[in-house]
Structure 1
């Protein structure tokens, strides 16, 4: 693989489009991750205050049980991972854009297989992120309600069993 004028021109045209999508996606996932983080921080602060205010062992156990239900969710982890992935891809694509434009700006460019592979890898990672992002959203939107149904059913049957055993 060699760096050619046609390859550099195509890469210089494609990379900014993927970067534009990356910026939009980082903003979406950044906002979602920030909101989840603020919510979790608030829940931890409230649990800590409730634990300090609890006077009996029953009250403490109730606070601890409620605190266990809160925490970082798989959705928050996915949002953070996708945000980090978009940051990496954006940096790589910016470097690919620079390499392409530097190649095109040189009067007598020398074909560089390393630069061509680096640009190709950057664009392929960008394309991967373009595919994985909506797929992740679909999985979250489709499977998350089903998991909530299963969890609610489990809690229901557990509570029913506890009531029968009393």
Structure 2
């Protein structure tokens, strides 16, 4: 592979377009993850409320827990710590590809504008790798992020749901014991 004027000009035109798409896509993911962090999955809230109960829950406590649980079953639960990790990995992937695309851009423009041409084979390979990585990122990253967020959210929701089922069963048992003692 060898750097030519046509190849360098193509890279100089294509790299910023891929970079722009990746930047917009990355910005949308960051905004989406910030929204996830603000949302409180009802199951998590219900679990926190239930964990605060010592002994037999009052009617008001049970109502608050049941209400939060219903909201959690209706909405996809999102936990800041899980989504924060995914957000960091996505941001790092976009940063790495952006740096590669910027390097390819500078390399191709530098090659076109200087009389002392750098190693043509090296420059051509760097540009090719950066552009391919950019295409792969903007094509595959949305699918990866969706799968990661779905898996993380589903796992956490299942844990919270199972814990709440055990809590409710324990509260029923406490109420049954209280009823037996009263009679």
Category of TM-score, reference length = shorter chain: 0.5 to 0.7
Q: How does the TM-score come out when normalised to structure 1? A: 0.64
- Contact kept? 1:32, 1:79, Cα under 8 Å: no
Q: Which residue of 1 aligns with 2:84?
A: 76
Would the alpha carbon gap of residues 83 and 26 (structure 1) be closer, same or farther in structure 2, given more than 3 Å must change? same
In the alignment, the residues of structure 2 paired with residue 131 and residue 84 of structure 1 have an alpha-carbon distance, to the nearest angstrom, of 16
- Pair 1:132-2:140 in alignment: yes
Q: Which residue of 2 aligns with 1:50?
A: none
Among candidates 128, 131, 144, match of residue 123 of structure 1: 131
Q: How does the TM-score come out when normalised to structure 2? A: 0.59
Q: Which residue of 2 aligns with 1:15?
A: 15
| Larger Rg over CA atoms | 2
Q: Which residue of 2 aligns with 1:24?
A: 24
In the alignment, the residues of structure 2 paired with residue 156 and residue 108 of structure 1 have an alpha-carbon distance, to the nearest angstrom, of 70
Q: Which residue of 2 aligns with 1:155?
A: 163
In the alignment, the residues of structure 2 paired with residue 112 and residue 93 of structure 1 have an alpha-carbon distance, to the nearest angstrom, of 17
Q: CA deviation at 1:128?
A: 1.8
Q: Which residue of 2 aligns with 1:104?
A: 112
Q: Deviations over 1:5-26 (max 9, x none)?
A: 2221221111001111222234
In structure 1, runs of 5+ residues without a counterpart are: 40-57, 59-69
Q: SS at 1:73's partner residue? A: helix
- Pair 1:92-2:89 in alignment: no
In the alignment, the residues of structure 2 paired with residue 19 and residue 33 of structure 1 have an alpha-carbon distance, to the nearest angstrom, of 21
- Contact kept? 2:9, 2:112, Cα under 8 Å: yes
Q: Deviations over 1:31-67 (max 9, x none)?
A: 4566778x6xxxxxxxxxxxxxxxxxx7xxxxxxxxx
- Contact kept? 1:30, 1:80, Cα under 8 Å: no
Give the paired residue count.
141
